[in-house]
Amino acid sequence: MNVPIVAGDFDDGTYVRRFVRGSDPRVATCRGKLQNKRSKLNQEINKELRLRAGAENLYKATTNRKLKETVALELSFVNSNLQLLKEQLAELNSCVEAYQNDTNDEVSMPLIPLGLKETKDIDFRDPFKDFILEHYSEDGENYEESIAELMETRLATRTPTRDAAGISLLLRYYNQLYYIERRFFPPDRSLGIYFEWYDSLTGVPSCQRTVAFEKASILFNAGALYTQVAAKQDRRTERGLDQAVDAFLRSAGTFRYIHENFTNAPSMDLGPEMLDMLVQLMLAQARECLFEKLELQSREQRDIDVSLDLAQEAAQVSAVYSDVHALISREPVRDYVPESWISLVSVKREHYLAVSHRHVAAGLLDHPMSDFRPETRVILERIQRSDSKTQLEVMVPKSESERQLLGRAHVREALVLHEESQRLQRMCRELKAKQALVKALRRAQDATLDIYGRSGDDEDIRELLDAPSIIVATKFQLSLTHPDFTQHGGDDLFHGLGPIAIFSAKRHWTAPRLVQLQRGPNGEGFGFSVRGDAPVIVAGVEHNSLADLAGMKEGDFIVSIGDKDVKWASHEQVVRLTKQSGHSISMKIVTPMDRNYLKKPIKSNGRDKGSVSASSSSGVSSGQPSPAGSVTTAHVARRLPWNPFKKSNGQRDSRDLTFDNVILR
Q: Encode pLDDT of 147-197 as tens digits.
A: 999 999 999 998 898 889 999 999 999 999 999 999 999 988 888 899 999
Q: What is the pLDDT of residue 244?
A: 95
Long-range CB pairs of 22-30 (<8 Å, 24+ gap) are 22/156, 22/159, 22/160, 22/161, 22/165, 22/166, 22/169, 23/159, 23/161, 24/159, 25/159, 25/160, 25/161, 25/162, 26/1, 26/159, 27/1, 29/98, 30/97, 30/98
- Angle 238-261/272-297 helices, nearest 10 degrees? 160
The DSSP output letter for 463 is G
For residue 602, the SS3 value is coil
pLDDT band of 31, cuts 50, 70, 90 = low
Residue 83 has pLDDT above 90, yes or no: no
d(CA 547, CA 541): 6
d(CA 556, CA 58): 58
DSSP 186-198: -TT---S--EEEE
The DSSP output letter for 110 is P
Closest by CA position to 613, among listed 526, 520, 515: 526
Q: What is the pLDDT of residue 665?
A: 27
Cα–Cα distances (Å) from 63 to 53, 68, 544, in that order, read 18, 7, 78
For residue 320, the SS3 value is helix
What pLDDT, in 10s, does the model give residues 206-218? 899 999 999 999 9
- Angle 211-231/164-184 helices, nearest 10 degrees? 180
Q: What is the pLDDT of residue 331?
A: 87
Q: Backbone phi, then psi, for 130, in 5-degree steps?
A: -65, -40
What pLDDT, in 10s, does the model give residues 47-73? 777 777 887 788 788 888 788 778 788
Cβ 479 vs Cβ 249: under 8 Å = yes
Q: What is the pLDDT of residue 388?
A: 72
pLDDT band of 548, cuts 50, 70, 90 = confident
Residue 322 has pLDDT above 80, yes or no: yes
pLDDT band of 101, cuts 50, 70, 90 = low
- CA distance from start to end of the chain: 53
| Percent of the chain whose predicted confidence (pLDDT) is above 90 | 36
What pLDDT, in 10s, does the model give residues 116-135? 898 989 999 999 999 999 99
Question: What is the β-pairing status of strands 384-385 and 205-208?
Answer: unpaired
Q: What is the pLDDT of residue 650?
A: 45
Q: Backbone phi, then psi, for 300, in 5-degree steps?
A: -75, -40
Question: What is the β-pairing status of strands 195-198 and 469-470?
Answer: unpaired
Calculate the dihedral angle through the C-alpha atoms of 350, 352, 353, 359, rounding to the nearest 10 degrees: 150
Give the rounded distance of the alpha carbon of 445 from its chain centre: 41
| Percent of the chain whose predicted confidence (pLDDT) is above 70 | 77
**Domains parsed from the chain with CATH numbers:** 1-231+494-503 (no CATH), 337-475 (no CATH), 508-665 (2.30.42.10)
> In b/e form, how buried is each residue of 459-472, taking b as 16+ CB within 10 angstroms?
eebeebbbbbbbeb
Helix (H) or strand (E) holding 560: strand 557-561
pLDDT band of 613, cuts 50, 70, 90 = very low
pLDDT band of 651, cuts 50, 70, 90 = very low
pTM, to two decimals? 0.78
pLDDT band of 222, cuts 50, 70, 90 = very high
Q: What is the pLDDT of residue 648?
A: 41
d(CA 395, CA 410): 11
d(CA 450, CA 455): 9
Cβ 277 vs Cβ 327: under 8 Å = yes
What pLDDT, in 10s, does the model give residues 409-451? 899 999 999 999 999 999 988 888 888 899 999 999 999 999 8
Cβ-proximal residues to 299 (8 Å cutoff; 6+ apart), any chain: none
Residues in the chain: 665
Least-confidence region, from 100-109, 185-194, 345-354, 576-585: 100-109
Cβ 468 vs Cβ 385: under 8 Å = yes
Angle of CA points 332, 337, 343, to nearest 5°: 110
Residue 251 has pLDDT above 80, yes or no: yes
pLDDT band of 664, cuts 50, 70, 90 = very low
Cα–Cα distances (Å) from 497 to 180, 190, 577, in that order, read 12, 20, 20
* Side-chain-facing half-sphere of 91: CA atoms under 13 Å: 12
What pLDDT, in 10s, does the model give residues 262-296? 988 888 889 999 999 999 999 999 999 999 999 99
Q: What is the pLDDT of residue 350?
A: 96
Closest by CA position to 3, among listed 139, 122, 149: 149
Cα–Cα distances (Å) from 566 to 462, 562, 574, in that order, read 87, 10, 7
